[in-house]
Amino acid sequence: MALHFRKLGSFLSSTHKSRVFLVSRPVSKFLDTPRQFSTSQALFHPTTVSQNPEEDFVKKNDVEFLKWHNGGGMFHKSALIDPTAVIEISALIHPEAVVGPNVQVGAGAVIGPAVTVGQSTKIGYNVAVTNCTIGDYCIIHNGACIGQDGFGFFVNEQGQMVKKPQTLKARIGNHVEIGAHTCIDRGSWRDTTIGDNTKIDNLVQIGHNVVIGQYCILCGQVGIAGSVTIEDYVTFGGKAAAIDHVRIVSQVRLAANSCVTKDITEPGDYAGFPAVPIHEWRRQVVALRQK
């Protein structure tokens, strides 16, 4: 046992003595694209020389991720970032991402690989976006998550739980506002889509393959199950919901705590569980009180 400890101490001592410091090089050809993007200052990255492949991978990423000049965040050298963008400290821009003019990325936010963020969009603190495109002049509030896998599973013949592939994207239009800690899943058989000028409150769940039209309003704690189609100018009151695969026509308003369980084909106001025209729901409430 003592021999083993002596060998371990000798190994740790030799490893400590072999530590060196590397200096990353600035990206010299970052502007070799037709669009105008900015370079960044080089960073000094202390790393440990090792023959371990995992450590080599870490060192490689240390060189490929650089500090953004406007805000102090980190970006991958393959990302295309307009020089007017602000990337705050501890924010991270992944490879092949595109960040447009005057975009603001808050501290702790993560822009995933190949994500596109349109001009003048504001992304709050600790937002995570991946597998998605975001339009112009959007506001994404703190903690929102866009583009993660949808909830799709089935039990196979052997009784095992199998995950359904979630391989498509979430597409956010222009002038969209998304509240804090709202989640929008990416698609499996069609892209999840949020139309222009739609406003979404805090703590809203939008499942995979959902298509929402323009000028819609979703209040707090709304839940939209997968593959729902919502046309233009639809309003969901707080805690309203829709089950999967239903369709709602334009100019429908749903009262709070309503649940859509079948297609709504006529414009108007609806309430209840299941949701029915609001005049019918009011008669149901009166009849229940009389009983």
Q: What residues are labeled active site?
A: 208
Burial of 121 (0-12, 13-18, 19+ CB in 10 A): buried
Alpha carbon separation from 195 to 76, 207, 229 (Å, rounded):
30, 15, 11
Sheet holding 276-277, edge to edge: 86-87, 104-105, 122-123, 139-140, 177-178, 199-200, 217-218, 235-236, 252-254, 268-271, 276-277
Question: Would you state the structure tokens that stand for residue 221, as one six-digit string?
Answer: 């704690």
DSSP structural state of residue 278: H
Assess contact for 196 and 177: CB atoms under 8 A: no
Assess contact for 65 and 110: CB atoms under 8 A: no
Q: Cα 244 to the chain's mean position, in Å? A: 21
Query: Can you tell me whether residue 61 is helix, strand or coil?
Result: helix
Half-sphere exposure for 107 (CA within 13 Å, toward CB): 4
Q: Which of 227, 183, 175 is nearest to 204 (CA)?
A: 183
Cis peptide before 274 (omega within 30 of 0): yes
CA pair distance 255, 236, nearest whole angstrom? 7
Assess contact for 100 and 81: CB atoms under 8 A: no
Question: Would you state the structure tokens that stand for residue 56, as one six-digit string?
Answer: 């080599």
Query: Can you tell me whether residue 43 is helix, strand or coil?
Result: coil
Q: For 91, phi and psi rounded to 5 degrees?
A: -75, 155
